[in-house]
Structure 1
Amino acid sequence: MGTVDLSIGQYHSPFQWLSHLRGRRRHAGWQAEDDDCPLECDCPSNYPTAMYCHSRNLQHVPYVPSHIKYVYLQRNQIAGIQDGVFDNATSLVWVVLFHNKLQSDKIGKNVFTKLKNLERLFLDHNELSHVPPNLPNSITDMRLCHNKISKLLPNSFEGMFNLTTLNLQANDIEDVGSAFKGLKSLTMLDMRKNKLKKIPNNLPERLQQLYLEFNNIETVPPGFFTMYPELQFVRLAHNKLTDKGLPAGVFNVSTLAELDLSFNKLEKIPLVSSNLENLYLQANKIKEFSLSSFCSTIDVTNFSKLRMLRLDANKISAKDIPAEAAYCLRRVAFIDV
């Protein structure tokens, strides 16, 4: 069978020579059998297109057979990926690499280029400093949370017009620039626990869920929500919002279903749409209960659709809620003061 060069591969590991040998057998035209799976992984017969290599203390990506569509490499010690590693497995749909030690300068520029069927790429809980380049436009779900990304380049997500879910939680991002401009299919953006000082602009118009908790945001731009007519769920908890930073009526948009403004520095209840269903305002500095924030007039035909209202850990109590609230907030199932 010839000799095996132990220097081939990205990093030394107890299984490296086995992985290389498997690859030589395939390329040499040996008949594909069930045992074409790398010995450091499992390829169960009841899931013939899946390859399980998680929690094996691997330091490199093993050889991936061409028929594999789902490869699970999470919870290993992989620090880098060289170009060509996935070139034999162009049918890959899922690549799961969370909880490794991936570093941006150790990932080839064309690692994922040939994966034209890739839908989900999970790179969370690594040590990446930027988004890997040349990602295929087939990806719909991408997870980059819990890395060390501090800046998004304008071309970070270039051409990714099928991306619907993007998770960038727990990085060091201060500004996104125009990085999201071309993501016309994006419906969910998670940027919790970053260093944002303002709400990102140039967001996709189809966005439905926006999560920005635990940042340093002080203001909301005038007319912000009217620019995103499909936005339903917005979370701005644990920021630095004040009444001064909220333009009049900025939250009074009929599309919003849930709004979280808890753990900020608000002194008043902001005006919201009667269509809003869940409002979280706990742990602010609110001093009065203003019924006009929910209903402009009090009559049998004008009432709020609010179901959940949290006002606990503010400077008001139950006695501050007027009796008329029973007409305006007739659908509320829970109010916490």
Structure 2
Amino acid sequence: MKTAQSILLLLLFMPLTEPAPPTQQDAPIIYEYGTENFQETKFGQDYEDKYLDGENIKEKKAMIIPDEKSFQLQKDETVTQLPTKKESDEMPTCLLCVCLSGSVYCEEVDIDAIPPLPKESAYLYARFNKIKKLTAKDFADMPTLRRLDFTGNLIEDIEDGTFSKLSLLEELILAENQLLKLPVLPPKLTVFNAKYNKIKSRGIKANTFKKLNNLSFLYLDHNALESVPPNLPESLRVIHLQFNNITSITDDTFCKANDTRYIRERIEEIRLEGNPIMLGKHPNSFICLKRLPVGSYF
């Protein structure tokens, strides 16, 4: 009887104590959870590897600490680019002078020669320096120049080919130098200023101004001219020849002796004061002018 009761109790409690086998749904859940942990761990490891391995440590340091190697990181957009050869070639001029929007200002810096200029230069102001000579090499590769100002230097000589390639040059100022003669001038000049030099008439060739059809302002005052330069172009509006050594003029100096109807339309001012000449003795020399020259008539 006791044996039968024991067996009955055992049969009743067996379903409660027997462990249930794992179902098919439990396995993917455990596997997916484990996979996510694995991916997170792998991502963290990759992140650490990226910044902690030896090669990338160097890369990271190169991005932070500027040294010679940092300039070799071409893919790093934050690295400052090295100056190009053109910029480095121009650097001495623009450190000594001031370079701004095509203009170069080299005033009162005691240079004795023309420094290398930026290729795009249009205006050069080199006033009050110690330049003694200008050569063809000075502007050989500078076709963009439009104005040159050398006021207050010590220029004694200018090679004939110095300005020959400056096809755009409009203003040339050589005032207050030591010139004895004039070079060949570029064809598009509108202003030429060589006052306060030592230029004599023999230092100006007969055709120096003849083909300058754009020349409007000519300043040759305070020199040593014995006569008015020949073949002055029709385009001239202002001619300053005061305080030279001009002793005489002819009917062909400003007008045309054989053409009484000829009028020099554009002339607005001619200054001849301070010369050893009595303008009143040459009345036919001004017959084509709308205004008489400034000077002594009596």
TM-score range, shorter chain: 0.5 to 0.7
Correspondence for 2:162 among 90, 100, 111: 111
Say whether the 8 Å CA contact 1:208–1:233 is kept in structure 2.
no
How far does residue 168 in structure 1 lie from its aligned partner after superposition?
A: 0.5
User: Unpaired segments of 5 or more residues in structure 1?
Assistant: 1-28, 243-337
Say whether the 8 Å CA contact 2:146–2:168 is kept in structure 1.
yes
Say whether the 8 Å CA contact 1:68–1:92 is kept in structure 2.
yes
Query: How many pairs are equivalent?
Result: 201
Aligned to 1:136: 186
Aligned to 1:79: 132
User: Identity over aligned residues, as a percent?
Assistant: 26
Distance 1:161 1:171 in 2: 24
Say whether the 8 Å CA contact 2:102–2:122 is kept in structure 1.
yes
User: Residue deviations 1:88-122, cap 9 Å, x none?
Assistant: 21110100001000012xx2220101100001000
User: Residue deviations 1:100-150, cap 9 Å, x none?
Assistant: 00012xx22201011000010000100000111x21111000001000011
Query: What letter corresponds to residue 138 of structure 1 in structure 2?
Result: K
Distance 1:34 1:213 in 2: 51
Aligned to 2:293: 234
Name the larger-Rg structure.
Answer: 2
Distance 2:292 2:99 in 1: 40
TM-score for both structures, normalised by structure 1: 0.56
**In structure 2, do the counterparts of structure 1 residues 62 and 41 end up closer, same or farther at CA, with 3 Å as the change threshold?**
same
Aligned to 2:213: 161
How far does residue 34 in structure 1 lie from its aligned partner after superposition?
A: 9.1
User: Residue deviations 1:206-252, cap 9 Å, x none?
Assistant: 32210111111124323333222xx336311xx4x43xxxxxxxxxx
Query: What letter corresponds to residue 120 of structure 2 in structure 1?
Result: H
The secondary structure found in structure 2 opposite 1:84 is helix
Residues 77-226 of structure 1: matches in 2 within 5 Å?
A: 77-104=130-157, 107-132=158-183, 134-151=184-201, 152-176=204-228, 179-199=229-249, 201-203=252-254, 205=264, 206-220=266-280, 221-226=282-287
For the pair 1:54 / 2:107, whether they are aligned, the reply is: yes
User: Residue deviations 1:240-272, cap 9 Å, x none?
Assistant: x43xxxxxxxxxxxxxxxxxxxxxxxxxxxxxx
User: Residue deviations 1:27-60, cap 9 Å, x none?
Assistant: xx9454498351321113xxx1100111000100
Name the one with the larger helix percent.
2
Say whether the 8 Å CA contact 2:220–2:240 is kept in structure 1.
yes
Aligned to 1:288: none
User: Unpaired segments of 5 or more residues in structure 2?
Assistant: 1-82, 256-263
Correspondence for 1:36 among 90, 95, 98: 90
Distance 1:203 1:115 in 2: 29
Aligned to 2:116: 63
Say whether the 8 Å CA contact 1:93–1:118 is kept in structure 2.
yes
**What RMSD in Å do the two structures reach over aligned CA positions?**
2.2
**In structure 2, do the counterparts of structure 1 residues 215 and 182 end up closer, same or farther at CA, with 3 Å as the change threshold?**
closer
Distance 1:40 1:184 in 2: 42
